[in-house]
Each structure stands twice: as structure tokens, then as C-alpha cells.
Structure 1
Amino acid sequence: MGEAVYAWGFILVLGLAAVLTPLVMAFAHRVGMVARPKEDRWHKKPTALLGGVVIFVAFMAGMLAMGRGGRGETAFLLGALIIFVVGLVDDIRALSPRMKMAGELLAAFIVVAAGIHFTTGLGAWVDWPLTLFWIVGITNAFNLLDNMDGLSAGTAAIAGVLLFIHTRIMGSPEVALAALMLSAASLGFLIYNFNPARIFMGDCGSLFLGFSLSVLTLLGTWTRYSVANLIWSLAGPVMFLTVPIMDTTLVSIVRALNGRPISQGGRDHTSHRLVAIGLTERQAVLVLYAVSLAFGLLGVYLNRLNLPTVSVIFIFMTMVAVYFAAFLAQVPVYGNHELAVTTDGDLTRRKATAILRRLVESVADVVVLVVAYLAAYLLRYDGVLTPARMHLVVQSLPVVLPGFLLSFWFFGLYRNLLRYTGVYDLVAIFKGVIVGAAISMSGLTLLFRFAGYPRTVFVIYVLLLLILIPANRFFLRGFHQLFLSTSNREGRKVAIYGAGDAGEMVLRELLNNRQMGYVVVGFIDDDPAKHGFSIHGVPILGPATALEQIAASGVEEVIVAMPSAPANRREEVIAMCKSLGLRYKVVERIV
């Protein structure tokens, strides 16, 4: 298939979508198919629906115009038609969740029955259910992702382009063309859907995009990953669709822990949580575009790597996504008045948050333990893992993982708050890693006499864990600090007098609790050796004479954090604040 075919297909579908969208907008307003502003939605004025009709018609027209062919394409188009009709009926008459699920399963079953499914090497009893779960899951993931202007259409466009690149490399021209035209249909609609949106796609669009991408990722990877390895089979598709998968997983877990129906709408998605930490709606969508692009590009590159390397990268990136989602899960998106908070309800939410944190910590540790173990073998054998060595890895992991997790639990790694990880936690991690290694090696000796297991692997493994487990703990804290440092910069401007331990403690408290309404613009300190430096990104501006400059710049208050200074010096600073008209607060000694 020549390059001209791809170019003409893209231009045809893009132009058709761009032309049809205003017509559908006018029609939707004429017949009253509009989304009215609601409490749990963010748009402020009635907005046209039925944008999914544009995406579906433009894509199908392109497929028919460019010619059909390729394995399973008829089944794919039939399933896509069923999904579109289900979504359209739901937009018009509001189908029950059971009816929607029945239609989704029918469409997915048609595709699977045509021979399009994951090939794990474990038989149809695994491949078919896994594929049905994948198609239905991604279909609904895009439906849930359609919660902010331009997010679902833009994510689909990025995934389509990356899948086009991937399938071109893999030698699947028909799939590449379909992916490119799906991206073009999404982009043509996105012109009118990006913030502020003038039209929404509705369920007929989001369900269609999710279904199409779920099937196209299968068509684009199944010939390459027809090996008896589940990770290799899933790595590419998951990387292309990381954002919808992450968002759906986050929403499902949080709503389930809080006793809310997963199908219930609301402002608790990934995008809404990004807005809650200070980003604008556009910035939140662009951040998720960037995440989708980064993971997708890596997914394109995975096909050039060997299986162990793919496993390490895939598991590591999964850990990054888990941490990102875990951080966002802790961001409050509803006020008490919206939640109708009761004492029991508040306690339930707090317990749910604690459970979620512990779950994330455990999953993240398992990911690190597996990645480090594979990496230790790769380092020991110069990146080459023969089937015999892979057998050792698979055989020993069920012994190694429980040994380390038991040790981590015993030394209290899951009783500490990640947000306050410090030196004492590093000591506990060191003990946990050493004892965990001893337990694991003892277990392998007892069960397999340690036959065939090189001791150098465990030396490397311990060294990697001593680096990665602390990094694992500090990663979430880093996410927290990163977003807080760049968000919500509005509030009462204050300066801290005293760039010592007390001043640093005050700054940390203000950074961690932005609801207090303070923005720290700088430190004042009498020690000239500290001038020109910064603490947590906040500059040390100078000595007491700098108070006049900061007062003129709009600072309203000074926090005097110098409890160890002589009393007369504190009194002098307070007098200066009074003379400049600055309010002040004094941090007293603890004892």
C-alpha cells in the first residue's frame, strides 16, 4: 500500500469530519439534542450532542472509499456498527446499563468469533475471556474518559496515530490505514470539541472510539505477539491506551471503596483531579495528552526489544502510572456540601482512602520486586535470558515475593505514611531488604537446594532493592510536592523570618496544606551565609533590611520562626513588622 493511499485516506476523513460537525451541531440544537448544564458537569451552557455521528460516518465513509480487506475487518465493522447504534439509542432514550452491556458483549463476541483475540499460548479458555474483557473494558473506558472538553477525542487521535506508526512498522497496512482514518475522524471533530467545546460526542462517539481502538490494537499486534507470554501480548495495547485504562481503574476503585455506583457520573476523574490541584481545564487535558503520547511512543518501541526487556519496561511504566493515579486519588474533588457528609460517611471515606493507600503501596512494592529481580538477571547475564534462566526466574518468584513482602510487613514499611518518609524509614527498608533476601534464599535452598541459582544475582538484587525501594517510597512524595509547587499560587503572601529548622518546618506545613491560604514568597534571615540560597524552592531574600522591600511588593504577613534566637532579637523583628504595617505570627519553642 503506497504512501499516497494513507495521505488521501487521512485528508478525506479529516475533511469530511470537519465539514459534517457544524451541520450536526445545527441539527442537534434544532431537535433539542443538547446537554444542559448540571451540578456534576462542567459546561456552563447548553451544548450540542450527537458529535459521535460525525466520527462514525466520517470513519465508515473512509473505510468504504479506500476499500475493505484484511483479516477480520468485516467482523470489526459489524461490531462497530452495533456499538454505534447502542450508543446512539442510549443518547436518545437512555438505555439501562444491562442493555448497554448486552450490546457491547454482542459486538465483542462477533469480533472474537471471527478469530481476532489475544494469543497467550494458554488456550481459548484464557484467550477468549481475556479478549472479551479487553474489548468491553476499553469500550467503557473511553465512555468514562469523555468527561472534559477534547479529552476523549484527543486521546483517541493520539492513540490512532501511534497505532498507525506501529502497524506500519509491523507490516499491517490495512490496520495502519484504519487507525490513521480513525485518528483523522477524531481530529476533525476535535476542532469543535476542544475547550470550550461547542459539541459533545455522546455515548455513540465514545463507545465507538473505545471499541474501534480496542479491536485495532488487537489486529495490529496479534501477529507479532503470538507467543506464549501474557506480558508480551498485552504490553503494546496497554501502552497505547494507558490514559483511558488508568482513568477507569482509578474511578472504579475510588467509587467502589466509597460505596458509589461505578456507572454514576461525577467530577472525580483523572482530569477533574488535575484541575483540583490548580491546573486549568485545558492544561489538565494537555497533561493527559502528554501522558498518552509518552506511553504510546514507548509502546511503539517495545516491538524492537527482547521479552525480558519488554517485561522490565512494561512493569516499570505500570508502576509510574499506578503512582500517578494514586497521587490523584488523594486529591479531594468534592466539597462537604456536595457529599452531604455525615460522621459515619466521613469515617468510611477515610477508611477507604487508607485502604487505597495500602493497596497502592503493596502493588508498587510487588512491581519493584519483580522489576528488580528481572533486572538482576539481565545485569548478571549481560541482557541475555535463555529459556533455562527464565525458568529459574518463574520458578523462584513465588518464593522470593512472599519472603520480601513478609519482611517488609514485619519491619513496619506498611504502617508509615509515604508522605512523611524519612531517615528512620530508610533504616527499616534496609533491615527489610536484608532479612527478605535471607528468607528468600533460605526458601529456595529448602525447596530447590538453591540448584542453578547464581548467588551473584541475589547480591545484585539486594543492591537494586536498596536503591529502588526507597525511590519507590519517595516517588509518591515527589509527585505530591511537584504538583503542589506548581499549583494554586493564589493566597495571602507571607514571608518567613528565620531560615532554620523552625522556618523549614513552617514552610513544609504551608506547602502541604494549601487550604490554609498562604503563599510563601521568601525567607528573611540574619545569617549572611544563607543569603542567595533557597529552601524547597523558596529563596532566602536577605537580612532584616529586606523587610521593607517585601512589604512594598505586597507581602501582608511575616511568620517569625526563630524560637532559639534571644528574646530581645525576636522583639526587634516584631517591632520592625509593626513599623512597616505587616501582620505577624510568632513560632514559639516546643519546650
Structure 2
Amino acid sequence: MLNYTQIIITLFVSFFLAALSGPLIIPLLRRIKAGQSIREEGPESHFSKAGTPTIGGIIIILATIIAALIIGGSSSEMWILIFSLLVFGAIGFVDDFIKVVLKRNLGLRAYQKIIMQFLAALLLVLFHLQTSGSTFVLVPFIKESIQIGGFIIPEYLDLGGFYIPFMIFVIIATVNSVNLTDGLDGLASGVSAVVAVFFALLATSLGFIEAGIFSGAIAGACLGFLIFNANPAKVFMGDTGSLALGGGIVAVAVLTESVLLIPIVGGIFFIESLSVIIQVISFKLTGKRVFKMSPIHHHFEMSGWQETKVVTVFWTATTMLAVFAVFAIR
């Protein structure tokens, strides 16, 4: 029970750190004129958001790191988690800074982002292998090894030589999926909070105490950030926050050997990415769009849904997916 108490304490500490730092950081973002630009082809309701301070992900990053270190202390596992949060957040910060402060709309080139993310993912995997040496991943819905035909499906699957490339793919995919989800007031922060709570409880139940505390810190920071990011948003997290969240969440999944649960509990992240992939492929092959606009949260907006309704539905769906994911590991 003590370990779960630590998670609750960490969540509250992180929440209050984010809530208290917001009024200090948001004016600084205004001072450097870090205002968000809005896509012209987007929903008309978004035009009023132009100029809203972005790069607010700094609030989430600081609150998470401070709370995690205060409650969880310093350890190799904790520093691996912090590394992932920081390095992906740094990639997002550079992109945000170029776009909104230096006023260069393109920001980092796509190939530059991928190269940086690849190197960050590779380092995360190598650090994990150095500390644990494990190339196993938890297989959802398998409590004990079962045999189907001539195949044996184990509870934990050893990826062996495929571990590094597979993990790099999962890490990059997750980070960019969280980034794509960040398009409506409170959407990415709310969904990430639910996912982080799930991984906090999972990590603790599996004995990964530092990962549980760190994930609890992410959840608290997201909830504290929601004070300023809920509709109407006073600040956006930017790529600084969305890439950091993706990096932090996937790092917990890597250390707890539970990356195969991400498409379940993080189903909204997966659907957001899938909608973009489908849209691009359809347009390139047929010249037609499947969705009115992608990622899919914009499709619902263009279909007449209020922004708050889309966010509420996606939060609810994530909560239901988290409950479903619990049964995937029982």
C-alpha cells in the first residue's frame, strides 16, 4: 500500500508544482512573444486562438522532474526516465523556438526531427539494456504460456536481436502519436494524464517503483497544466510538451516491459496517427480524402462537434481503454 501512497503523493506534488509555476512561466512566454500560429485550413473556431502562448510544455517537464526526484530519489532507472522526457522535450523545444520565437514557420525539417528522435530512441534503448539486460516484452491477455496449434505464446516474449529495432520503432511512433493528439484545448494533456495513471499503477504492481513514481509525476503535471490548458486555453504545451510526454510515457513502458499495452491504453494516440496515415495514403493514391481533416479530432470538429465535446469523448474513451487494459494483464 505504501508504494501506491507514494504515487498519490507524487501526483499531488507534481500537480501543485505545475499549478504554481504556470502563473510564472506563462507571462515569460508572452514576453518572448511565443504565440501560436493557426492553420488557415483549420476549423474557424480556432482562429481566435492565434497568439496564445505556446511552449508551455516547460511547465509539465519541470513539475514532473522535480516531483519525481523529491519522492523517488536519484537512481539509474529514474535518470533514464528523466533523460527520455528531457531529450524528446528538447527536440520539441528547438522546433517550437524556431517556429514561434524566430518566426520561421517550418521549424525543424522532417528529416532533422526523425534523425534526432532516432538517436534519442536508440540511446534510451541502450541505456535500458545496460541497466536491465532484458529483451522481454509483456504479451497482453496471456496470463500463462499457451499453445495454439504448433505455436507457443508466452506471457513474456523474448525479442532477442529484434529488440532494439522494434523498440526504436515503438518509441518514435508513440512520441509522434502524442504530438499529433495535441490539437485541441486540453486533449493531449487530459489523455496523457489517464495513460500516465494507468502506467503508474501498472509499474508499481510489477515492482518498478521508480517508474511508477515517475509516471505519477507525469499524471500530476498534466492535471496541473490543465488548469491553464483547458478550454479556453491560456497556454499550449507545443511540441515541447507533447514530445516530452510521449518520451516520458514510452520510457515507462520500455522499463516495465509493457510497450505492447500502449496501443490499448493509448488507443487515442494510435487512432490519431492512423487517421493521418490513412488520409495521406488515400489522397496520394486516389486524390480523395477519407476524413474532412486529419488528425481525426479535427474531423469531428469539421463535422459539427464542439471542441469541448470532442475532448470529453476522447478523455472518456481513454479511461475506458485503461480499464480494458487492466483486463489485458490479469
**Interval containing the TM-score (normalised by the shorter chain):** 0.7 to 0.9
Counterpart residue type for residue 270 of structure 1: I
Q: 1:43 offset after TM fit, Å?
A: 4.2
DSSP-derived class of the 1:49 partner: coil
Q: For the residues of structure 2 that align with 1:77 and 1:181, how far apart are their CA atoms? A: 11
- Counting only pairs closer than 5 Å after superposition, residues 438-587 of structure 1 correspond to structure 2 as none
Q: 1:83 offset after TM fit, Å?
A: 1.3
Query: 8 Å contact 1:118–1:218 — kept in the other structure?
Result: no
1:101 aligns with 2:126: no
DSSP-derived class of the 1:258 partner: helix
Q: 1:4 offset after TM fit, Å?
A: 4.3
Q: For the residues of structure 2 that align with 1:203 and 1:150, how far apart are their CA atoms? A: 14
Q: 1:253 offset after TM fit, Å?
A: 1.9
DSSP-derived class of the 1:238 partner: helix
DSSP-derived class of the 1:100 partner: helix
Q: 1:65 aligns with which of 67, 70, 74?
A: 70
User: Which position in structure 1 is the counterpart of 2:24?
Assistant: 23
| Structure 1 residues 112 and 48, CA gap change in structure 2 (3 angstroms) | same
| Structure 1 residues 268 and 124, CA gap change in structure 2 (3 angstroms) | same
Counterpart residue type for residue 113 of structure 2: K
Q: 1:11 offset after TM fit, Å?
A: 1.7
| Structure 1 residues 25 and 187, CA gap change in structure 2 (3 angstroms) | same
User: Which position in structure 2 is the counterpart of 1:175?
Assistant: 211
- Counting only pairs closer than 5 Å after superposition, residues 179-578 of structure 1 correspond to structure 2 as 179-222=215-258, 234=260, 236-259=261-284, 267-304=293-330
Unaligned runs of 5+ in 2: 99-106, 138-156, 286-291
Q: TM-score under structure 2 normalisation?
A: 0.81
Q: For the residues of structure 1 that align with 2:87 and 2:94, how far apart are their CA atoms? A: 11
Counterpart residue type for residue 57 of structure 2: G
| Structure 1 residues 3 and 115, CA gap change in structure 2 (3 angstroms) | closer
Counterpart residue type for residue 208 of structure 1: A
| Structure 1 residues 68 and 106, CA gap change in structure 2 (3 angstroms) | farther
User: Which position in structure 1 is the counterpart of 2:199?
Assistant: 163
Q: 1:70 offset after TM fit, Å?
A: 5.8
Query: 8 Å contact 1:118–1:130 — kept in the other structure?
Result: no
Counterpart residue type for residue 30 of structure 1: R
User: Which position in structure 1 is the counterpart of 2:90?
Assistant: 85
State the Cα RMSD in Å: 2.2
Counterpart residue type for residue 101 of structure 1: I
Q: 1:57 offset after TM fit, Å?
A: 0.7
Q: 1:40 offset after TM fit, Å?
A: 3.3
Counterpart residue type for residue 301 of structure 2: V
Counterpart residue type for residue 128 of structure 1: I
Q: 1:68 offset after TM fit, Å?
A: 3.3
User: Which position in structure 2 is the counterpart of 1:44?
Assistant: 48
Query: 8 Å contact 2:89–2:241 — kept in the other structure?
Result: yes
- Counting only pairs closer than 5 Å after superposition, residues 109-148 of structure 1 correspond to structure 2 as 109-115=122-128, 119=136, 121=157, 123-148=159-184
DSSP-derived class of the 2:184 partner: coil
Larger RCO: 1 or 2 (CA < 8 Å, sep 6+): 2
| Structure 1 residues 118 and 189, CA gap change in structure 2 (3 angstroms) | farther
User: Which position in structure 1 is the counterpart of 2:35?
Assistant: 34
Query: 8 Å contact 2:21–2:59 — kept in the other structure?
Result: yes
Q: For the residues of structure 2 that align with 1:158 and 1:214, how far apart are their CA atoms? A: 14
Query: 8 Å contact 2:58–2:241 — kept in the other structure?
Result: yes
Q: For the residues of structure 2 that align with 1:127 and 1:139, how far apart are their CA atoms? A: 18
| Structure 1 residues 13 and 25, CA gap change in structure 2 (3 angstroms) | same
Larger Cα-atom Rg: 1
1:476-510 Cα deviation digits (max 9, x unpaired): xxxxxxxxxxxxxxxxxxxxxxxxxxxxxxxxxxx
Q: 1:98 offset after TM fit, Å?
A: 1.6
Query: 8 Å contact 1:163–1:179 — kept in the other structure?
Result: yes
Q: For the residues of structure 1 that align with 2:27 and 2:82, how far apart are their CA atoms? A: 28
Counterpart residue type for residue 272 of structure 1: H
Query: 8 Å contact 2:7–2:200 — kept in the other structure?
Result: no
Q: 1:190 offset after TM fit, Å?
A: 1.0
| Structure 1 residues 197 and 9, CA gap change in structure 2 (3 angstroms) | same
Q: For the residues of structure 2 that align with 1:303 and 1:249, how far apart are their CA atoms? A: 25
Query: 8 Å contact 2:197–2:215 — kept in the other structure?
Result: yes
Query: 8 Å contact 2:187–2:311 — kept in the other structure?
Result: yes
Counterpart residue type for residue 34 of structure 1: G
Q: Which moved more, 1:281-290 or 1:236-245?
A: 236-245
User: Which position in structure 1 is the counterpart of 2:151?
Assistant: none
Query: 8 Å contact 1:218–1:237 — kept in the other structure?
Result: no
Q: 1:173 offset after TM fit, Å?
A: 2.2
Q: For the residues of structure 1 that align with 2:75 and 2:265, how far apart are their CA atoms? A: 22
User: Which position in structure 2 is the counterpart of 1:375?
Assistant: none
Query: 8 Å contact 1:175–1:220 — kept in the other structure?
Result: yes
Q: TM-score under structure 1 normalisation?
A: 0.46
Q: For the residues of structure 2 that align with 1:296 and 1:64, how far apart are their CA atoms? A: 26
Q: For the residues of structure 2 that align with 1:221 and 1:300, how far apart are their CA atoms? A: 15
1:432-461 Cα deviation digits (max 9, x unpaired): xxxxxxxxxxxxxxxxxxxxxxxxxxxxxx
